[in-house]
Amino acid sequence: MQGQAAIYLRISEDRTGEATNVDVQRQECRRLAKELGLTVSREYVDNDVSATSGRVRPQFERLLSDAPPSIIAWHQDRLLRLTADLERVIALDVPIYTVSAGTLDLATPAGRAVARTIAAWSTYEGEQKVARQRAKNAHRVASGLPLSGNRPFGFELDRMTPRESEAERVRWAYAEVLAGASLGAVARSLTDQGVLTSRGREWSVQTLRQLLLRPSSAGILLRDGKPQPKSQITALVDPETFDAVGAILRDPGRRRGPGTRVRSAVLAGIARCAVCDEPMRSGANKQRGVTVQLYRCDRKGGGAHPQIRRHKLERAVETAMFEELTQRQGREVSRPDESMSALRAEREEILRRRSIAQQVIEEPGADVPAGLARIRELGEQADAVQARLDALIAADAESALLDTLAGMAGSWAAGREFYEDAVEEFALEWRRRPIDQRRALIRSALTITVQPASTGRPIVIERRERRSMELLDTAD
């Protein structure tokens, strides 16, 4: 009866996805098995997995677990490149045959010494390769060039030159989202038109979202999650469009899932409860079989906490913003000299670190007080960056709305009827602005407090650093 052998095959980088080199290894290993009079009992194949990357090689682990009578590989470095892996193979105490280097003698001290030397040099070569690749990547990024990888939709293989037939679709998708279309509707439209992703797949909400949020669409080159000062990527959309769509997609008030849309709860987290000073949330109640949208405080204790119909509070705030911006007519809008995309990236990095810190304190033996202090510190940093971001967003929104108000400024002084028409015209334009712009501008201009209805003065709106204005909530 012939002896049995398992074949181990590996290629560390399969650029084509066709595993061609693995097939070559297979043919040669089977030829060697035939020459040795061995029957191949099983093949173990790790395709596109490096032996020095630190990634687990599933089939290599299975091979060690199965412990076959003998092993055939193309070369020792196909089977192992790390000394730690060699020691595990030695522990199997089975013959190792290779196509290119003959029998690997692990039964004698001299043979094991040779194998360990080969493994040590293989480890060195792997580390040198990584070091060279890192230096090459650093040079590319410093030159403003993106790193190699799969071709992104909208770009050529160089990952920076637009493929115009696709770039046009990218711009269309941004415009659709800005106009209020859901990601699901845009994804379905692309698929219905026969437009596929760069990998030839149909569009999903997730892949479309990733496309619209990727910085390269705005010509931004990232390295380790941070925008680089130099980029040779040709932008598919302008920074304003990229930031506006990013704000819509990241807005916490946006519903995700089937029928994705942007909610109109613009004051959630901004309006505050007069009883406990906590931010109010959006909600809904059933009244006589009809769903009524509300802002309410969910805190208990300390008295009756208020709730108010959403349209009443928002209408009052729209009127207050009209009067506030009307008074600002003729003044130059001061816009901070900062990059919105850079601030967003900075804030996301802080939030990522805070998430890691939260995970760390859950580990056994963690220094919880120090961890909580770190979480608070990162939270304060994120709030500070958000404040700078709000200032930018508010300045952009203010400029656009002041343009809309041109010509309206004195119309309301002629009479109440003209005033109400002007407010209505302003409100229509106000509601067209992205929700993040409206929220940022409200935060920068007003404080909003909701009191229990029993006070007779449910809404109190104060202009920041300006005179106070109280609005009675008497209309339905």
Residue 309 burial (10 A CB sphere; 0-12, 13-18, 19+): middle
- Give the residue extent of every domain in the chain: 3-137, 164-262, 272-471
pLDDT at 48: 61
pLDDT, position 417: 56
pLDDT attached to residue 329: 65
pLDDT confidence of residue 71: 94
Q: What pLDDT score was predicted for residue 362?
A: 76
pLDDT in tens, the chain (476 residues): 468 999 999 876 544 444 447 788 899 999 999 999 999 999 999 876 664 555 678 899 999 999 999 999 988 777 876 667 888 888 888 889 999 878 887 777 877 887 778 777 777 776 777 777 777 777 777 788 887 778 999 999 888 899 998 999 999 899 888 766 778 878 888 887 788 898 888 899 989 999 999 999 999 888 777 788 888 899 999 888 888 888 888 765 555 444 444 445 789 888 999 988 888 888 878 777 778 888 888 787 767 889 999 889 999 999 998 888 877 766 666 666 777 777 878 888 898 888 888 888 877 778 888 888 888 899 889 888 888 877 777 777 676 666 666 555 444 444 445 677 778 878 887 877 777 778 888 888 899 999 988 877 889 998 875 434 444 343 33
Residue 79 to residue 76: CA distance in whole angstroms:
5
Q: What pLDDT does residue 262 have?
A: 44
Q: Does the domain at residues 164-262 carry the CATH identifier 3.90.1750.20?
A: yes
pLDDT at 37: 93
Question: What top-level class would CATH report for the domain 3-137?
Answer: alpha beta
Rounded Cα distance between 207 and 222, Å, is 19
Q: Tell me, what's the pLDDT at 153? A: 94
Neighbouring C-alpha atoms within 13 Å toward the C-beta of 407: 5
- Taking a C-beta distance cutoff of 8 angstroms, is the pair 173, 135 a contact? no
Give the SS3 label for residue 197. Answer: coil
The answer to whether the 3-137 and 164-262 domains have the same CATH topology is: no
Name which of 318, 305, 270 is nearest 451 in CA terms.
Answer: 305
Query: What pLDDT shows up at residue 335?
Result: 66
Report pLDDT for 265: 77
pLDDT score at 260: 41
And the tokens for 413?
């002084």
Per-residue confidence (pLDDT) for residue 72, from 0 to 100: 95
Per-residue tokens: 279: 């931010």
